[in-house]
Amino acid sequence: MKMLLMENRRGLFWSSLLILVPQAAAFLMGETIYFLSLQCLAVHWFCILVTFADWRKKPQGKRAVHLLLSLMPVFSIAGGGLVLLVKSGRVGEGLVSYFFYIGFGLMFILVGNYFPKIRQNRTMGIKVKWALENEENWNATHRFGGKVWVICGFACLLGALFPFSGAGTALMVVSILSAAAVPTLYSYLYYRRQLREGKVEKIRMSRLGVAVTGILTVFILAFVAWVLFSGDMEIRWQEDGFTVEASGWGDYQVEYAKIDRVSYEPDGLAEEEDGRRTNGFGNLKMSMGQFYNSRFGDYIRYTFNDCPACVILEADGEIIVINGENEPATEEIYETIKLTGTGDF
């Protein structure tokens, strides 16, 4: 390992220095980026040391080393730079989602192109047991996996066209899961074919391996369900106003005295009026936070996606769109606000 570190000392020095650039810039600006660069540096060196430790068994080509040295600097500069731009006010928070989708898309495309060039190792690539123990399986899996990752990358770029919607979130999640699951399934099917042809012996997984695989599968499925269907809200009524208590996003308070106008729209906003989320929480169940559309401009929204009906309030110079889980619950919200006698109806 010492020899490898010496051979790549220039690349290691400059890549580490580039990773720390956003941290230094944040210090000079008096801002904080939550030690993002230091975390990237730790991950960077961990991956390098593990890869170089495995080098004697599975030496890598120069392109794989260049990829290893480049990923964390790019991530640190892009992520840290974006945080600093948002904090300085030069980039709106709503643009963060665009960069998120585009960043993931470009990463998938870049890594996907490198996949066929990566040799067997336990650090980089699709490290499933069938591929690690058979070079033919590894090469076939990474040729196929590279194509899958490139496709997933373009899917993420497509998601950048509508990043503020539940559909955009779903597309991103499906792309990430597909990038992991599809090559893994291909590798397993390739192993089964080799087994039928007598090219390999049956691989027996330990009980611990089976248990870990099962736990990871359950965790991943639970995480996907949480991303797509989490979130909730409840309205708490007080004497002088009400509070939208949200799970997944910040609460929002409205004072009755500041309400200028209230309207009930049973059919909800027209499709072209849904607009986009500029900062907030959104999935297949909920839409909460700051939104923008052609009708209202910037507005606040706390809604269940399955219920089209909504109550629209003008309060203290802001537009607030809220609803309940269903139409009767939304009507109840409207009637409760009417009883306060504030605003025009």
Over residues 93-144, the pLDDT tens digits come to: 566 777 888 888 999 999 999 899 888 877 778 888 889 889 999 999 999 9
Lowest mean pLDDT of 73-82, 214-223, 296-305, name the range: 214-223
The CA distance from 243 to 236, in Å, is 5
Pairing relationship of beta strands 297-304 and 318-322 according to DSSP bridges: parallel
Distance CA 246, CA 231 (A): 7
**Domain-wise residue ranges, the chain:** 2-229, 232-338
- Taking every pair of C-alpha atoms in the chain, what is the biggest distance, in angstroms? 81
Q: Identify whether the C-beta of residue 99 lies closer than 8 Å to the C-beta of residue 75.
A: no
Please write the tens of the pLDDT for every residue from 42-71: 988 988 887 777 665 666 667 778 888 888
CA dist., res. 258 & res. 123, Å (int): 58
202 SS3 class: coil
* Residue closest to 294 by CA, chosen among 319, 317, 316: 319
Is residue 163 scored above 70 in pLDDT? no
Mean pLDDT of 179-207: 89
pLDDT band at residue 341, thresholds of 50, 70 and 90? low
Most confident of 63-72, 173-182, 270-279: 173-182
Establish how many alpha carbons lie within 13 A of residue 194's alpha carbon, considering only the half-sphere containing its beta carbon: 20
In sequence order, what are the beta bridge partners of 303? 287
- CA distances to 5, 17, 22, 24, 27 from 30, in Å: 35, 20, 12, 10, 5
- Tell me the helices (H) and strands (E) count for the chain, helix number first: 10, 9
The answer to which of 84-98, 221-235, 282-296 has the lowest mean pLDDT is 84-98
Q: Span 164-172, mean pLDDT?
A: 73
> What is the residue type of 46?
F
pLDDT digits (tens, 9 = 90+) for 200-259: 888 877 777 678 778 877 887 888 788 778 889 999 999 899 999 998 788 999 999 999
Q: What is the mean pLDDT of residues 253-282?
A: 83
Considering the chain, what percentage of its residues have pLDDT values greater than 90?
A: 37
DSSP letter assigned to residue 344: B
* Highest-confidence segment of 2-6, 156-160, 252-256, 282-286: 252-256
Residue 36 has pLDDT above 70, yes or no: yes
Query: Radius of gyration of the chain from Cα atoms?
Result: 26
pLDDT at 92: 61
pLDDT, averaged across the chain: 85
